Structure 1
Amino acid sequence: MSKPIQVLLTDDSPTMLQVLTRLLSAQPDVSVVGTARDGEEAVALARSLKPDVITLDVQMPGMDGLGATERIMAETPCRILMVSGAPDTDLSFRALQAGALEVIAKPQGAPEDVARFGVRLLSAIRLLAEVPLVTQRNEGRSTAPTLTPGTRVAGFGLVASIGGPTALASLLWLLPRSLPYPLFIAQHITPGFTVGLHRWLSSLSPLPVEIARASEMPKPGTVYLAPDSHHLRVGMQGEFVIERASGSTFPSGDLLLASMSRAFGAQAGGAVLSGMGEEGAVGLNAIRRAGGLTFAQDPETCLVAGMPEAALRNKATEHRVSPEALATVLRALEGVPPAPPSPQGM
């Protein structure tokens, strides 16, 4: 039997710590090696215990989860799972930018909510324990591929999961407000956190960031997110198609990119960024087969390299780029001019 996952739990509620300790300790593959009541205590225990995974409450008295994340990643890097009671704020995403891997919502207090939270927490801990521990991120010096002058796209899709918010932040703030085509983002996210992601990206991006609405036509120079717990696709007339998500992975990057390949053909563009698993490779391949532009984040610059590696392995693209190099590509692309009006009387 492999060694149990060593977990440090942090929460300012003694009752919550007791409940979670009992729940996790009942699992043969998990060992709770310590509990902390605030950020300062979590930093000290991280240093002495060196656990595999740390859960951090986002909002705590004294040093909050963001401050604790910054200290831990600077002193004793560890896989950090943020637990937020206020998913509509940007604090969790600032912690992700500081090095945390994932964020999940706290229970509302009812016993059944706590039980469901325990299941989600256990699943997230097991998932993060499989993520290679990155102690220093490579900023990447990859060169942007040379494009044929006048290369046009009708839209560009970005797919990301764990580590994606950091990559998106590095990319979006380098783009001009005058970008002549829309950007579509499929960032895997826990239900309830889309509003917080929207607010955080809006604070970083020169481009307006919006949550897509069904049947809406996308505007050039605008970044679009899928609505909470929904998939986002592009219809054959270029309009947004929104559908309720099922399963555990949403919004789907494969659905978004494949729909773009059908709607835009050779004028579709897409990139797969940091994330675990293989999501996005199938959709990116569809864009490549349609003659569009495809890219994968350079695995050396990823917090988690699984998704870009899958895209490269499956020949969905030949181009590996850092977020900064991808921004150079996006700045060089031109938009598709609007169709001329139909002649009157025809």
Structure 2
Amino acid sequence: MIKVLVVDDSAFMRKAISTMLDKDPDISVVGVARNGREGLDMVRRLDPDVVTMDIEMPEMDGLTALRHIMMESPRPVLMVSSLTTEGAESTLKAMELGAVDFIPKQLSKVSLDIIKIERDLIERVKTVAARKMRHTAARSARRTPRPVAAPRVGGRPQRDVVAIGVSTGGPPVVQKILSSLPADFPAGIVIAQHMPAAFTGPFAARLDGVSKIKVKEAESGDILRPGHAFVAPGGRHIVLDQKISRIEIVVTDEPAEALYKPSANVLISSVAEAVGRRGLGVILTGMGNDGCEGVRDLKAKGGRALAQSDSTCVVYGMPKAVVEENLADEIVDLDDMAESILANLYK
């Protein structure tokens, strides 16, 4: 039985989340708290497996409570986030502090999607509980990045496009990798991070602020060039369009039926089509198997692929799919990922 503590100053949200979770026979909501102070006390007394934590609360806010939990007795914490710029920035900060994922506050709305919303919430709780939170992964993502330099080898890099697919637990992992790369990084980077539309702009801005390379949310017409990274907008895909003298980014709603938007499969398959063997696919922490088919397409064109190691993933779903299909050229710990990306540009 998975024990869950729900911490939220909204009685409506406490009821909504509790009702959804209680529908699953493997989950038990063992307590509800109105603020971070109550929540912290209940964590100590009830020892829940998973905590859902609101951010804005009286007496003690969610970020402060999260800091205490991570210092005293780390466990999976899912933040309850409003889909606003302020909510995005607070949630990204929470993930830096050790939260594994977030729940949009729209979960509380009565809608035709309520069954899907319940299923997603229950799946997230079960997934992070099963992992019992990878303490090594969380600590690794928060450690100070180790700057890396391009390997001293002759000639130009063999690959000049890096496509990253990532989901649950991804923001601090992507931040660690990008902030380790040198300003003269010899390839362009495109990123599909499963994230709502309100979050990807602040996420790109945060990455840009801590990285030597340039990072921005992708727009149609952006030109992919070395030392620049582009984050796919939430709710939309990005694909590459190879022109005669440049590679352009196209933001698109197609394929509309894709399970994830942005989709790592759509992105990496477009990299395979546009640049073939010049592409390097990187699959990081996340639920599901998004990216696997894209990597298959890339490998068929002579590209290479890296998968994050099980021990350093918050959720070993997306990389596992690539590894089990024998598509990964290397399985890499997070601490070594930036260096491995650089090295593989020359292979």
CA RMSD of aligned residues (A): 3.0
Output the CA distance in 2 between the equivalents of 1:187 and 1:136.
Answer: 22
In the other structure, the counterpart of 1:184 is: 190
Q: Is 2:35 the counterpart of 1:38? A: yes
> In terms of mean alpha carbon deviation, does 172-181 or 129-138 score higher?
129-138
Letter in 2 for 1:242: V
| Deviation digits for residues 77-124 of structure 1 (CA, Å, limit 9, x no counterpart) | 322111112532322012112221211322499x646x9679636622
How many Å apart are 1:6 and its aligned residue?
2.7
Q: Is 2:212 the counterpart of 1:206? A: yes
Output the CA distance in 1 between the equivalents of 2:299 and 2:106.
Answer: 42
| Cα separation, partners in 2 of 1:204 and 1:316, compared to 1, 3 Å | same
Q: Is the 8 A contact 2:83 2:196 kept in 1?
A: no
In the other structure, the counterpart of 1:267 is: 278
Q: Structure 1: 5+ residue runs without aligned partners?
A: 336-346
How many Å apart are 1:185 and its aligned residue?
0.5
In the other structure, the counterpart of 1:296 is: 307
Secondary structure, counterpart of 2:287 in structure 1: coil
In the other structure, the counterpart of 1:317 is: 328
Q: Is 2:82 the counterpart of 1:76? A: no
In the other structure, the counterpart of 2:241 is: 235
How many Å apart are 1:323 and its aligned residue?
3.0
Q: Is 2:8 the counterpart of 1:11? A: yes
Output the CA distance in 1 between the equivalents of 2:16 and 2:102.
Answer: 19
Secondary structure, counterpart of 1:239 in structure 2: strand
| Deviation digits for residues 269-315 of structure 1 (CA, Å, limit 9, x no counterpart) | 11111112222122122222222222111222111122212211111
Q: How does 1:1-346 map to 2 (within 5 A)?
A: 3=1, 5-25=2-22, 28-85=25-82, 87-89=84-86, 90-107=89-106, 112=110, 120=117, 123-131=120-128, 132-137=131-136, 139=140, 149-150=154-155, 151-237=157-243, 238-244=247-253, 245-332=256-343
Which structure features the higher share of helix residues?
2
Q: Is the 8 A contact 1:231 1:255 kept in 2?
A: yes
Output the CA distance in 1 between the equivalents of 2:45 and 2:54.
Answer: 20
| Deviation digits for residues 15-53 of structure 1 (CA, Å, limit 9, x no counterpart) | 432444445445555432111111122122112212232
How many Å apart are 1:212 and its aligned residue?
1.3
Q: Is the 8 A contact 2:159 2:280 kept in 1?
A: yes
Output the CA distance in 2 between the equivalents of 1:334 and 1:30.
Answer: 45
Q: How many residues align?
A: 328
> In terms of mean alpha carbon deviation, does 33-42 or 246-255 score higher?
246-255
| Cα separation, partners in 2 of 1:121 and 1:87, compared to 1, 3 Å | farther
Q: Is the 8 A contact 1:234 1:259 kept in 2?
A: yes
Letter in 2 for 1:50: D
Letter in 1 for 2:100: L
How many Å apart are 1:206 and its aligned residue?
2.0
Output the CA distance in 2 between the equivalents of 1:325 and 1:43.
Answer: 35
Secondary structure, counterpart of 1:192 in structure 2: helix
In the other structure, the counterpart of 2:146 is: none
How many Å apart are 1:179 and its aligned residue?
1.8
TM-score between the two structures when normalised by the length of structure 2: 0.83
Letter in 2 for 1:239: E
Output the CA distance in 2 between the equivalents of 1:18 and 1:294.
Answer: 44
Secondary structure, counterpart of 1:137 in structure 2: helix
Q: Is the 8 A contact 1:294 1:316 kept in 2?
A: yes
Secondary structure, counterpart of 1:153 in structure 2: coil
Output the CA distance in 1 between the equivalents of 2:74 and 2:26.
Answer: 22
How many Å apart are 1:229 and its aligned residue?
0.4
TM-score between the two structures when normalised by the length of structure 1: 0.84
Output the CA distance in 2 between the equivalents of 1:199 and 1:23.
Answer: 34
Q: Is the 8 A contact 1:88 1:194 kept in 2?
A: no
